[in-house]
Every structure is written in structure tokens, then in C-alpha cells.
A and B are shown apart, each in its own frame.
Chain A
Amino acid sequence: MTGQDPEIDLTLAEVRSIGASLSPWAHLASVGGDGEPDVVPVHPCWEDDVIWVMIGRDSVKARNLAHENRVALHWQVDEKGDGLEVWGDASLHDDPDTKRRLWSGVFDYDLNLFAPGGPDASPDTVFMRIEPSRAMWMKAYGMGGVRRWRRNRLRS
């Protein structure tokens, strides 16, 4: 079953799989207190149903969350023009337990390349946690069809 809305026909597991098939890279949009959008490339990684992004504590995207915690991620489109956008609620995490857990086993690249101090000596490094709220998969820039996922439906 897909719930009440026939347009909601993806599971979050499928969203995760689609993202992995497209690219390890996504463009993350956030918004500042003055309403100006920002967009930067990031390397997101999934932990169960949550997306994590390693970022700088003083980065624009980190500062933007103080004003607006909603963000959008668009995975890099492939050569066919297929793309995936995920919207979600973001929060910043810098406690040692979270950093240690994420540092080994969650990310699919070596975080030490960007923060040589590791989880215990990288005060400028924090993690953005994104809880997806909805997603849209567009085939061939949408010309080949659109499929969607939304949280709080019968199907998660």
C-alpha cells in the first residue's frame, strides 16, 4: 500500500538506494536569516533513515541552521538526467560520542583526510544530521516521470 496519496510511491529505502546509484555527491541548499539561499556540494552518508554530512563549524550552512533548520539536497544528476531531491530537517551535532560513532563505520570515506585531529581533536568539525521529510526522484529531468516519498505516510 502507498497510503492515501497515489503520488507517494517510493519507500525511504528506495530513496536511499536511488541516491547511492546516482552519485556520492549532492548539492545542499540552506537559507540564511536574511532569506538568501546558499548551495554547496557535500558528500552525504546514510545511517539507517538519517543523512549525515561532515561540515565546518563556521561554514555558511552551519550558521544558516541557526535561522532555518530546513534544508534540501539534490544528488548530482547522472548522464541520463536522473536526479533526486530530498528535503529534511537538519541539526548540528558535535558531542564526542556522536563524532566517534560517525567517524568509524558510517561514512564511506576517510574523515581524517579533512580533519586530521580525529573525532577528539577536531573542534572545527561538526556533523549535520538531516531527517528526511520528503523526496522526489525525477527521471530525465522529470520528462521521464516523477516518483515521490513523504514521511508520515502508511509506507515509510
Chain B
Amino acid sequence: MENNDGVELDVIKSDSRRYGPFAYVATTGSNGEPHVAPVAVNWIDDDVVAFVLASSRKVRNVRENPRATVHFAVGEATGWDSCIVWGEASIVDDTSGRVALWDRMGYDLRAFEPGGPESDNHVFLVVKPVRAVVLRAYGMAGRQSWKRS
């Protein structure tokens, strides 16, 4: 069993790509109720980023409680391993910010937002990692973890 605490964030980022582009992001609003939603994510520099509807519950929640947890999709193909990232969340909702991120998601955002980065209908949800862990077979086969210093 591999138990490797203190790996670099790059190890987590590299592992996370095994699970495909989809993840489940958990947020909590001011009333304390949790919410979890599937999102397409990409690493942009050292942040996990999703392009989401401005009116979505996860955006409202992050505006009220700027924390989010990302769990990349699990499955048989990846041995039921888990890659989880906890972080500080923020919303990029201005045109200049959207322009800066628009071409960095790895897919054509215009398929979802024909109005382009000028449209206020979509925003970017950015999770700046605070800590992360990879669990092999639910942790039974080892783990790797990272924590921001």
C-alpha cells in the first residue's frame, strides 16, 4: 500500500486527468444545506475551473460561502479511485475575466453560451486548492495527499 503524504500538487493534477473531464462539486449556501452538482472541469494553472450558469445554485452558494469541494468522477475504469480537491471558491463574472479564461477550458464554450464571454448568463467557478487527496480503491490500496503550505 502506498501512503504518500506531502506530494506536489502536480501529482494530484496529473492523477485527476485519469478520471475524465467531469467532476462533482459540493457547495454550501448560507442556510447550511449542502448541494452537489456535476460539472465539466479543467485545470487552469493551479486552479480547478468550471464554466457554469450564472443563475445556478452552486454559484449562489459560492457567493455566500466561498468554499467548494471537487470530487472527480469515479468508475470501474479507474479502479474506483478517488481524487478530491478542497479549496477556496470564487466566481469570475466580469467580461475581462471571462475573456481571460474563455479559451482555456479545453472545449468550445460557445456550444453552451453562444453569446461569448460578453454574456452574463455564464460565469467561471474557480476553486483554488487548499488540500487534495487521491484514494486508491477507496483508500484501501493507499493514498497520496497534498496540502497548501
Chain A residues with a Cβ under 8 A of chain B = 25, 27-31, 35-41, 68, 70-74, 76-77, 83, 85, 87, 141-142
**Does the CB pair A74–B69 fall under 8 Å?**
no
Residues of the A chain whose Cβ atoms lie less than 8 Å from the Cβ of B26: 27, 29, 37-39, 72
Q: How far is the CB of A71 from chain B (nearest CB, A)?
A: 6
Which of A29, A37, A141 has the most chain B CB within a 10 Å cutoff?
A37
**Does the CB pair B38–A74 fall under 8 Å?**
yes
Instruction: Please report whether the interface of chain B is mostly helix, strand, loop or mixed according to DSSP.
Output: strand
Q: How far is the CB of B49 from chain A (nearest CB, A)?
A: 17
**Does the CB pair A85–B36 fall under 8 Å?**
yes
Residues of the A chain whose Cβ atoms lie less than 8 Å from the Cβ of B37: 74, 85
Q: Can you name the residue of chain B whose Cβ is closest to the Cβ of A73?
A: B36
Residues of the A chain whose Cβ atoms lie less than 8 Å from the Cβ of B74: 25, 41
Q: Can you name the residue of chain B whose Cβ is closest to the Cβ of A36?
A: B67
Residues of the A chain whose Cβ atoms lie less than 8 Å from the Cβ of B67: 35-37
Chain B residues with a Cβ under 8 A of chain A = 22, 24-28, 32-38, 53, 65, 67-71, 73-74, 80, 82, 84, 86
**Does the CB pair A39–B28 fall under 8 Å?**
no
Q: Can you name the residue of chain A whose Cβ is closest to the Cβ of B135?
A: A40
Q: How far is the CB of A56 from chain B (nearest CB, A)?
A: 10
**Does the CB pair A36–B38 fall under 8 Å?**
no
Residues of the B chain whose Cβ atoms lie less than 8 Å from the Cβ of A142: 53
Q: Can you name the residue of chain B whose Cβ is closest to the Cβ of A32?
A: B28
Q: How many A-B residue pairs have CB under 8 A?
A: 76
A142 to B52, CA, bound (A): 12
Q: Can you name the residue of chain B whose Cβ is closest to the Cβ of A74?
A: B36
**Does the CB pair A37–B82 fall under 8 Å?**
no
Q: How far is the CB of A135 from chain B (nearest CB, A)?
A: 13
A142 to B34, CA, bound (A): 19
A30 to B80, CA, bound (A): 20
**Does the CB pair A27–B35 fall under 8 Å?**
no
A73 to B32, CA, bound (A): 15
Q: How far is the CB of A126 from chain B (nearest CB, A)?
A: 16
Q: Can you name the residue of chain B whose Cβ is closest to the Cβ of A64?
A: B34
Q: How far is the CB of A141 from chain B (nearest CB, A)?
A: 7
Q: Can you name the residue of chain B whose Cβ is closest to the Cβ of A34?
A: B67
Residues of the A chain whose Cβ atoms lie less than 8 Å from the Cβ of B65: 35
Residues of the B chain whose Cβ atoms lie less than 8 Å from the Cβ of A28: 36
Q: Which 8 A-B pairs have the closest CB atoms?
A: A39-B26, A37-B26, A29-B36, A29-B34, A29-B26, A27-B24, A74-B36, A39-B71
Residues of the B chain whose Cβ atoms lie less than 8 Å from the Cβ of A68: 32, 34
Q: Can you name the residue of chain B whose Cβ is closest to the Cβ of A87?
A: B33
A41 to B24, CA, bound (A): 9
User: Could you list some 15 contacts between A and B, CB below 8 A?
Assistant: A27-B71, A29-B36, A37-B28, A37-B69, A39-B26, A39-B70, A39-B71, A70-B34, A72-B26, A72-B36, A74-B24, A74-B38, A77-B38, A85-B36, A87-B33
